Amino acid sequence: MSVKIGIIEDDAALREGLVMAFELEGYETASAGSFREGQTLLETGGLDAVILDCNLPGGSGFDLVRMLRGTSDLPVLMLTARSSELDEVKGLELGVDDFMSKPFSLAVLQARVRKMLKKREEPLVLSSGDITVDLRKGEARRGKEKLLLSGTEQKLLSCFLAHPGQILTKEQLLGHIWDTDGNYVDENTLAVAIRRLRVKVEEDPGNPERIRTVHGRGYRWQEKGRGV
């Protein structure tokens, strides 16, 4: 099934260039050049993602996002000719998934759209037995009980649930939990996080049945009832 990208941009040359570039990549496209046309395009549906200009004849891209978010979680990448942080903050608060200022690199734009589409395909809820993680809400539960996890513990649990039964090396886990703010994460931090996570998800943390240590290799999430 083909993927369809909506392009709402008032600059005709840019709009046509984006249409051509995405169609050459194998995507279907639908385009609009004004607020009213964009509104019709979004209401028609059938899109998998949309590239939306901030300023449009007859209205604002922000208003289109506000209307869209009342009924849909369609991925939106917003474009603006201004480099104002206020625009970006406003867009993100309204639910824009990504933001780029003009002029921009076409290759980077296409990569960001691919990333949005890939994220949309990822499961929103991961589960194993009575353990669940809601990726959208950023919540984890054991049965009906909400688990109070640190950011590192949440990332670890999500990684384990996404790869049940698979041996994950320390290097793989460190790469997954690396602090995007640049704070250093080492093996000792990983070991501490594993111990704390076991306290919250294991019946007997001293004899873990879910987060198994595979000596010399790493760790493995063992789903209950699946054997060793």
Is a pLDDT exceeding 90 seen at residue 40?
A: yes
Enumerate domains of the chain plus CATH numbers. Answer: 4-121 (3.40.50.2300), 125-221 (1.10.10.10)
Share of the chain above pLDDT 90, in %: 52
Any bridge partners for residue 214, and if so which?
A: 218
Integer Cα distance of 192 and 150 in angstroms: 12
φ, ψ of residue 127 to 5 degrees: the values are -150, 155
- Mean pLDDT across the stretch 184-198? 84
By mean pLDDT, which of 69-73, 128-132, 150-154 is the weakest? 69-73
Is a pLDDT exceeding 80 seen at residue 201?
A: yes
pTM: 0.57
**What single-letter DSSP state applies at residue 124?**
S
Cβ atoms within 10 Å, residue 156: 24
Q: Name the strands in the sheet holding 145-147, side by side, starting at the edge strand that comes first in the sequence.
A: 125-128, 131-134, 139-142, 145-147
By mean pLDDT, which of 9-18, 184-193, 213-222 is the weakest? 184-193
Distances in whole angstroms, Cα of residue 158 to Cα of each of 104, 131, 205: 33, 10, 19
What pLDDT is attached to residue 122? 63
Sign of CA dihedral 176, 210, 170, 199: positive
- Mean pLDDT across the stretch 198-220? 93
By mean pLDDT, which of 13-17, 90-94, 131-135 is the weakest? 90-94
Nearest CA among 134, 148, 132, 140 for reference residue 223: 132
Cβ atoms within 10 Å, residue 167: 13
Integer Cα distance of 57 and 64 in angstroms: 12
Distances in whole angstroms, Cα of residue 141 to Cα of each of 11, 23, 96, 102, 224: 48, 43, 28, 42, 16
What pLDDT is attached to residue 181? 41
